Chains A and B, each alone.
Chain A
């Protein structure tokens, strides 16, 4: 009986707002439409309108997919302490993190769909029984299961918690905590599986490395929390939803450690490839230095690494990390740097040179750029909606109208089981 008012109030939350909010959502819609047009061109004209070819057969779509799986997986950085380790500092931020995971997964699935011409109509072939899901041997089949499963977990758990709060009930631990444990393992697994999609191919020595999985995790736990810091900082400044500073401080520490680990792995990879260069190092040589007159990726990867090093240095200096004026730009820089390193610097060089030694370069066309921008806009659109629905409920502004009715009959205990951070930690320790 509460579901209808819940949905109505959610609809009200997402459709009402000030001018800036409508401008934001309107701009995202406009970008999505540009993306839809690009996709329309791609579907009707064929994939020859993309920059991909028989040599570089994956491009911007799969690159973004690999990056965004990391963003989705990074929700575990908040889910684990908040639900499993009962860290109250993260109690309020965790719903936002799950929202980020949902929107990242929506983008991942959109990118997979944009990359496969058959998928819009033949998606049912990926479902067991009626289709033919080549599980367990295909890593892509694993990825389909993992992404969809993680999406369901990250929708169902927050929905249950929000809905319980909406109807003025404390969510029952025994109902959702088992799923939390599953989602923690699942988060790490989705990103490892995505790494194995590449690492499992001996045809591509650039990817065929045991370090790829751990490197994926390190970069994900850098870019993910960096994005979360930016988002939480924004919410903190724009709403009454009190996200404790200490939560952001803790996230900044995690980001710093992961960024350092990521740089160590990058260094390890560089030494592995260049100390005794073999024919297997040609892709790395192409990426970092170029092969002959082919060096399209060199400026990208050098910029990406420079951004990562600069941001990591800033984060490593305590006073700078604790200063929002430094923290926020550093996080934005890291996010972009990791996107370049992982998006551009990982997928594409795996195809150059081809397994038979031919060098064909790739650069995305306007169609790919439009579709990519459209999918990112879709993700931000979904994220905005989710945050917009969650905040009023968590602030206690949105409550089921049936509650007042019930209050007449019996006294409803006010929701206070979740301790406010001020009560638990009156003095912030630094």
Chain B
């Protein structure tokens, strides 16, 4: 897939002067053959038959299996294990990375919720950086799940807020509001997917099977919070910066042409840890916990603070609340 220099030849050969020539039937056939050659070379570029070394051949073979892979939710335990083994082997072969890909299911009695203290956030964006490193986000495209909006005091209005500020923070007379995927209880992105590649897990996290996604981007049009990102190119993460603790539904390697999003750090939170953004925040503006646990901090905030959520009128029921001290 990544090898795009070699197969370009047959296509460029019939590219020049194409518009000037009048065409008879034989000429048209010639052009058709050229087009077929271009198409065939596009396919053979990712075909195992075209591989130069045994290692490359193995990579190509493993990549081909993705096209016939089952939907994650339809896999048996054995098929899951087989898929994980293949993906881990691919990471080893491609970049010599030793990753472990987890498939831990949602834990019973757990429903995740998040609260964001707008009077504490100072706009440092430590959370953004932690998220990039933790979730193996594409460094080349500078993909970010978290967006921090700088707003003037007294105005909660995203349209006039500045999410791209580049100056010392906190700025005088401003406050900061962070957004990411809100893991809505009623997620508008889920029903629109034509192939059911995205769904809500029992613990409330909305996930994507990257390998099942066909890349139509209907979910991106449907999300009212701009939480989803597309891999316009093959994502690039320097091998030495890759976080090897991965989850199939979370921060494992994504490929060109699939949608991704925040999963509340599913690989951490399903094992009882906090999301990376919560851990990284130096001001304590971020609170995360189990909504079903009456003694959790998040429950205390929901019970004792004045709260609001974004775009309540859309009835998406985000599991992400804002509050102030």
* Chain A positions near chain B (C-beta within 8 angstroms): 15, 22-23, 25-27, 29-30, 32-34, 36-37, 40, 43-48, 50, 52-55, 57-58, 112, 115-119, 121-123, 125-126, 131-134, 137-141, 144, 197-198, 200-204, 279, 282, 350-351, 353-358
Contacts and interface: CB of A to CB of B under 8 A. Distances in A.
Nearest to B22: A23
A125 to B, nearest CB: 5
A402 to B, nearest CB: 29
Given A22-B25, A37-B11, A203-B223, A54 B194 contact: no
B34 interface: yes
B130 to A, nearest CB: 20
A48 B191 contact: no
Contact of B38 (A26, A30, A40, A353): A40
B106 interface: no
Interface of A is mostly: helix
Given A22-B24, A356-B147, A134 B191 contact: yes
A201 B222 contact: yes
A339 B7 CA distance: 36
Given A57-B221, A132-B195, A133-B194, A203 B230 contact: no
Task: List the 3 closest A-B pairs by CB distance, nearest first.
Answer: A26-B23, A117-B257, A118-B214
21 contacts: A25-B23, A26-B24, A26-B31, A32-B35, A34-B18, A40-B42, A44-B45, A46-B256, A50-B232, A118-B213, A125-B212, A132-B71, A132-B196, A134-B191, A138-B196, A139-B218, A140-B192, A141-B194, A201-B188, A355-B223, A356-B225
Contact of B194 (A26, A32, A58, A134): A134
B163 interface: yes
Nearest to A29: B28
Interface string B23-52: 111011001101100110010010000000
A52 B218 contact: no
Contact of A201 (B1, B32, B221): B221
Interface in B195-236: 195-196, 212-218, 220-226, 228-234
Nearest to B5: A44
Nearest to B67: A121
Nearest to B219: A57
Nearest to A17: B25
A141 B314 CA distance: 23
Contacts of A204: 221
A282 B158 CA distance: 13
B79 interface: no
A355 B224 contact: yes
Contact of A356 (B22, B71, B158, B217): B158
A139 B192 contact: yes
Contacts of B7: 44
A48 B212 CA distance: 21
A141 B163 CA distance: 35
B225 A37 contact: no
Contacts of A45: 4, 233
A313 B42 CA distance: 50
Interface in B48-81: 67, 71, 74
Contacts of A197: 218
Given A37-B12, A125-B214, 6 more contacts: A15-B25, A33-B32, A36-B35, A44-B45, A119-B216, A202-B224
A92 B35 CA distance: 36
A43 B22 contact: no
B179 interface: yes
A273 B104 CA distance: 48
A194 to B, nearest CB: 12
B214 A122 contact: yes
B167 interface: no
B34 to A, nearest CB: 6
B274 interface: no
B93 interface: no
Contact of B160 (A29, A32, A58, A357): A357
Given A43-B42, A121-B67, A132-B71, A355 B226 contact: yes
B233 A48 contact: yes
A263 to B, nearest CB: 27
A53 B220 CA distance: 11
Contact of B141 (A48, A141, A355): A48
Contacts of B149: 356
Contacts of B38: 33, 36-37, 40
A34 B98 CA distance: 43
Contact of A138 (B11, B192, B256): B192
Given A45-B4, A46-B256, A57-B221, A358 B191 contact: no
Contacts of A353: 159
B188 to A, nearest CB: 6
B85 interface: no
Contact of B4 (A27, A44, A118): A44
